[in-house]
Structure 1
Amino acid sequence: MPRLARQKKEDAIFHVMARSISEVDLFKDNEDKLHYLSLVKKYQKTYEFRVYGYCLMDNHLHLIIDANGADISRIMHSINFSYAQYFNHRHKRHGHLFQDRFKSKMVKSEIYLYALSAYVHNNPCDIKGYENCPEKYEFSSLSIYLGLRHDPYELVDDGFIMGMFSKNPKKARESYMKLVYKCSDKVFKEEVEFLNEGTEYRSERKILIRNIKTKEILEFIASKLGIKEIKLHTKHCREIVEAKALAVLLMRSLCNLKCSEICRVLGNITQSRVSELSSIGVKLLDDEKYKNITYEFMKEYAC
């Protein structure tokens, strides 16, 4: 029986769920879960999507993703394929890890988004020891929402959903906690202390336009790094590795191009090398010189 076409829209928010095959846990230990979150962050840098919440259980996971103009299938294939390779290598196994393709459902209303967020954050209540305190579970974003811990990967945009409750962080967190506990038929816990009150929440959402031309990206990178554009098409030139890596990263992010399509743009390059350059580009975003490169490009070319 043929698969049904996945529902997609450029400006959609998705509830994504993935499950492992029945005979193996998706995450064998905390190290696996931490690695999965690091991959979500890696590809967030590549595709510029937003994460509104997550929960990693032993045999399945939930993500709330705002694709921000990117292709949700490409995002999740990148994350899950990389994780399966890591998992099989680390645990010395072969074969499929995920049960079929990931499931995704578009969020079509604010009310559904509220309920979905509470449902995802309520998952730890099924774990022994967390029945009455899901906010203490380390691999859910609930504690980030409640200001109980910092986001180690700076992965989650909690302000969008929380801003729908109140601009005041304390009031928003109290209302949100009540919603989570209401969804689990638990009583709201007065003793939870909200930390890191911070500034007010603002519920704002803008979609990143992905109809950029590759020529514009190559021109921008060549100008920014002070090289001739033709060099970006040169094979085996060590002095332009950074420039080429940033160009590949921006083409994957802003043009929604596959590795094979980038090969055709650059010429004289393999798909594996494009993938490698993309990973180098992600690491370069940690450098102060390049951390805002996407926004610098959009400011110059997408006006």
Structure 2
Amino acid sequence: MENKIRDWEKDTTFHVILKSKKGMPIFKREDDYVLLLDSVEKSKKKYNFYLLSYSILNNHVHLVMETTNHSISDIMKGMIQSFVNRYNFKYDLKGNTLLEKPFWSRKLLNNEQIINACIYSDLNAVKAGLVTAPEEYMWSSHYDIISPTHNKIPYADREQLLKYVNGKSVNLYKSKVNTKLIKLQNDFPKEKIHS
């Protein structure tokens, strides 16, 4: 994969994917997931960006992010460095033996692309066969979005995401997710979608 300079301008939204090297599991224990989310939260404070959606599977991560004052490259460099350093310290490792470089990103050009990327992220665990419904998966922003009063720390910026939904309605977003979920369930044999 060619490592090229990425476009940047203020208020730009990206779908970002981080992949583990050789598809190996990175997130083996619950606190490994928390370690990444803490690195994301620290980066949000430092780089002032919005996290519209996320999904963390054991060997890859989806992030839908809206930049404000910093480039996506700077944000991801800081976030990855923070996570890798903390992970390495925890497991007594050296260097970046975890993630493929560079990260993958796609600039999202309109509301429809932004919503579709968020829904894709929300349904990632369902597509992987880990759960049958997105709200069942703990390491995704879906629950942050549809149920803001839950006890989990909300890492996703719910109100920012809802600005892209006509009418800023949680129910409309849920409806869009459910429509894609039904299509996903119809497209895959039932044995592939299981809990």
TM-score range with shorter-chain normalisation? 0.7 to 0.9
Give the distance between the partners of 2:185 and 2:113, measured in 1 at CA.
18
Distance 2:3 2:75 in 1: 19
Identity %: 23
- More strand by percentage: 2
2:3–2:102 CA contact under 8 A, matched in 1:
no
Structure 2 spans left out of the alignment, 5+ residues: 188-195
Structure of greater relative contact order (alpha carbons < 8 Å, 6+ residues apart): 2
- When structure 1 is superposed on structure 2, of 9-18 and 156-165 the one drifting more is 156-165
Q: What letter corresponds to residue 95 of structure 2 in structure 1?
A: G
- Superposition pairs for residues 32-71 of structure 1, below 5 Å? 32-71=32-71
> Segments of 4+ in structure 1 off by > 4 A?
none
Following TM superposition, by how much is the alpha carbon of 1:103 offset from its aligned partner in structure 2, in angstroms?
Answer: 1.3
- 1:139-176 deviation digits (Å, cap 9, x = unpaired): 0001122117537444322223334243444x325423
Contact 1:56 / 1:140 at 8 angstroms: preserved in 2?
yes
Provide the alpha-carbon RMSD of the alignment: 2.4
- Matched residues in 1 for 2:2 and 2:130: separation? 42
Shift of 1:105: 1.0
Aligned counterparts of 1:175 and 1:72: Cα–Cα separation in 2: 30
SS in 1 for 2:40: helix
Normalising by structure 2, we get a TM-score of 0.83
Query: Which 5+ residue runs of structure 1 have no aligned equivalent?
Result: 188-303
The worse-fitting range, judged by mean Cα deviation, of 94-103 and 43-52 is 94-103
Summarize the alignment of residues 151-166 of structure 1 with structure 2, pairs less than 5 Å apart: 152-163=152-163, 164-166=165-167
Q: How many corresponding residue pairs? A: 185
Normalised TM-score (structure 1): 0.55
Query: Residues of 2 paired with 1:59 and 1:79: CA distance?
Result: 17
Alignment of 1:85-164 (within 5 A): 85-96=85-96, 97-130=98-131, 132-147=132-147, 150=150, 152-163=152-163, 164=165
Q: 2:177 corresponds to which residue?
A: 177
Q: Does 1:73 align with 2:63?
A: no
* Cα pair distance change 1:122/1:141, threshold 3 Å: same
User: Is the contact made by 2:141 and 2:155 (CA closer than 8 Å) also made in structure 1?
Assistant: no
How far apart in 2 are the matches of 1:165 and 1:16? Answer: 24
Larger deviation, residues 81-90 vs 3-12: 3-12
Q: Is the 8 A contact 2:35 2:87 kept in 1?
A: no
